[in-house]
Structure 1
Amino acid sequence: MPGLKHHHLREPRPAGFWPLLIVFALFVLFLYGPMLTIFVLSFQGPEGGLTFPLRGVSLHWFRQLAEGLGTVDIGSAFRRSLMLGAVVMLLTVALSVLAGLAYRKRLRGGDALFFVTVASLIMPSIVVSLGIGLQFRLLDTGIKDALGALGAEGTLENYGTALGLLTSALGAHLTWTLPFGLLIMFAVFNRFNPAYEEAARDLGATPWQAFCHVVLPLIGPSIVGIGMFGFTLSWDEIARTSQAIGDVNTLPLELQGLTSTVTTPAIYALGSVTTIVSLLVMGCTLAAVAWLRRRSSARRTS
């Protein structure tokens, strides 16, 4: 009727809404509360301690972190973790995409290979680390015996170990990141419509052109997500690195060691820096995914 105002009545909440909301709020607080607490305490003044109340607000502990914490070279550990994370990310993306493409066809022994790869997810991380460390120590023994048998005394004297950042530690991290990448790519290609590739080939595209111009843009957001998983899982990994890295340490291992020796908010500043790096990677990933989706939508509408 003219002049009659229509009032949209809000539907009443279900009886279980508020209890579930409270449980969810408590879960979020439990999940992110410790992170927020460490972040706040890291900005304390020079007289600050490891607990509340907050004593002043400053960047004192971040400056101390930049100067170094005793004999620990935080800068070198930070660079090692960045390099390892970047290499793990690239290899995880490349191997996951290649495996996803390969598994689109029936492979002899493919099921066994898949289960062996995914089995590392259910094995205790420390067991994987110990196994890889032992394997490389056996490799060291074999190399030294071979050098001795060949009479290469100079090389034998200079030989240290095959354990290292981009050997054993890299392998240990890939046992953690690759299964996630494979599972994501398998899910992506299970939903992928091969008609797009067939249409490209009908128009004269080669298999490589069809992959670059058709398949890759469609799976691009998933590839970016795999890269984020690869980096962040490597960046925070401790257990699989502990027995398989050799004489150097990554940043998480240094942080774990410092928890028993550093009794100032500098340890909180270090934790905040590592968390910020992870959040930056996630933010860049979300931005890249949004850009790829907008680009794909623009192509479809043009």
Structure 2
Amino acid sequence: MNVLLLAKAALLGIVEGLTEFLPISSTGHLIVASSLLRFDSHATHVFEITIQAGAMLAVVWHYRMRLAATLTGWRSDPSRRQFVLNLLLAFLPAAVLGLLFGSFIKTHLFTPTSVAAAFVLGGVIILVVERRQRQPRTSESDRARICSVDQLSARDALRIGFVQCAALVPGTSRSGATIIGSMFLGLPRQVATEFSFYLGIPTLFAAAGYSLWQHRDALRADEAPLLFVGTAVAFVSALACIRWLIRYVSTHDFTAFGWYRIAFGSLILVTSAGEWISWPAG
């Protein structure tokens, strides 16, 4: 196995782990980073999706006690049963739309310039939602009723699931769509962030599994080290990011990420329009 290719896989693993749970789009960063690194794996799209499983394993590890208690107690504990139901309801909309339109999205939208446009639009939305959060409210009753993910109703979960569908467009950000969308729906920032972590487990494991199965004929044994290195590095970097983000949201908003998205997306669009960087078509 080419050492340089392994180093590129490790760098992409770092990019995945550090961006998966921030509202800045891990897929978008992977597409751009892969282009800059000229990462030419035989199954690049499969690699980019599969290493997301490493980031999800970081969530599983961080919340292992809660998840273990849920698995062993959901039959007898109504709150844990509702939690499982909520995850299923929030997962289904994106799963159905992904199956219906996944091929079209991969063919037409997995390009740096389309990702850049989504970056900018997503950044604007973050700024709008954060500004709305700072405005005085006549009533805090709706937001005050939910203080933890255990208090989410089935209706709340389904609404978050529909919001997550926006993340099917590369560059939108799954975590950004679910966190910012949940806040727009009235959920507190900490609850929105934590539920986004949990929702990522079935969503991204399913995406990785489906991608591997769909492209099983394109996978080669000599590329297994790439997947292993990328996934392992993504796990370590994602675990560090999760712990940092939990502390961050307790005292900060996401305005900085909104401006970052706008600046980064604009940079890609400008370099593409000026032909300073020759971004690949897909």
TM-score when normalising by structure 2: 0.27
Q: Of the two structures, which has the highest relative contact order with CA contacts closer than 8 Å and spacing of 6 or more?
A: 2
Higher share of residues assigned helix: 2
TM-score when normalising by structure 1: 0.26
Larger Rg: 1
